[in-house]
Chain A
């Protein structure tokens, strides 16, 4: 059964710092991996989608990498800002499931 783990569960950093969020999954048989942002009580906003054949995707200050064989992905946020404060979720699309499997998220706080 595919399990997705995100470490750390919470992270607090000063503004301007570069940071890395981690996501690991137990089964490498996936179609893709997606990173989402969720603000408190709000919906999930898609940040980056990486197909299984890709190694990374970039959007602005965000860079997501995927190492499928080792079951790991990282989300790199450059020059963090207070507006980046949110919960970040990763999700994988397992080959054998008609759904995605989500991690529990990392709650990020960027202090001014």
Chain B
């Protein structure tokens, strides 16, 4: 089944303890992206990747890191989490954004992160 898989689904952690949220897709998609969703603010892009070893900042990158060493994986790293990073996180992928018209997005099921 074609899908985007995120892990973990739920995570409670303490301030300052490094964590990684994994994202993997099995569709050979070039483009991958991370979002956070907060009440009243909607979906905001954190980082995106156009292809392997190509990443760039989105609208709210502060406090996050990403890497794209393999096409299928795009982990989100919080080096020193803070309570304001408590949110619902989504990973998404798309076949490609290089071409003149764009393909749709496929989303993962989400990771609910609580930082205390």
Interface residues of A (CB under 8 A from B): 31-32, 34, 36, 41-46, 49, 51-53, 89, 91, 93, 98-100, 102-105
Q: A99-B58, A102-B43, A104-B42 are in contact. Are A41 and B105 (CB under 8 A)?
A: no
- Which residues of the partner chain A approach B45 to less than 8 Å between Cβ atoms? 99
Q: Which of A32, A34, A42, A51 contacts B109 (CB 8 A)?
A: A42
Does B42 lie within 8 Å of A98, measured CB to CB?
no
Does B42 lie within 8 Å of A43, measured CB to CB?
no
Chain B: residues with Cβ within 8 Å of the partner, total of 25
Bound CA–CA A52/B92 (angstroms): 21
Q: Which of B40, B88, B104 contacts A49 (CB 8 A)?
A: B104
Does A98 lie within 8 Å of B48, measured CB to CB?
yes
Q: Which of B43, B48, B106 contacts A46 (CB 8 A)?
A: B106
Bound CA–CA A89/B48 (angstroms): 20
- Which residues of the partner chain B approach A41 to less than 8 Å between Cβ atoms? 88, 110, 112
Does B56 lie within 8 Å of A98, measured CB to CB?
yes
Told that A31-B102, A93-B97 touch, could you supply 8 new A-B pairs with CB distance under 8 A?
A: A43-B107, A43-B108, A44-B92, A45-B107, A51-B101, A91-B105, A93-B102, A102-B42
Q: Which of A34, A43, A103 contacts B104 (CB 8 A)?
A: A34
Quick check: is B90 within 8 A (CB to CB) of the other chain?
yes
The 4 residue pairs across chains A and B that have the minimum distance between CB atoms: A49-B104, A43-B109, A31-B102, A44-B107
- Which residues of the partner chain A approach B100 to less than 8 Å between Cβ atoms? 31
- Which residues of the partner chain B approach A32 to less than 8 Å between Cβ atoms? 101-102, 104
Q: A44-B90, A44-B107, A99-B58 are in contact. Are A31 and B42 (CB under 8 A)?
A: no
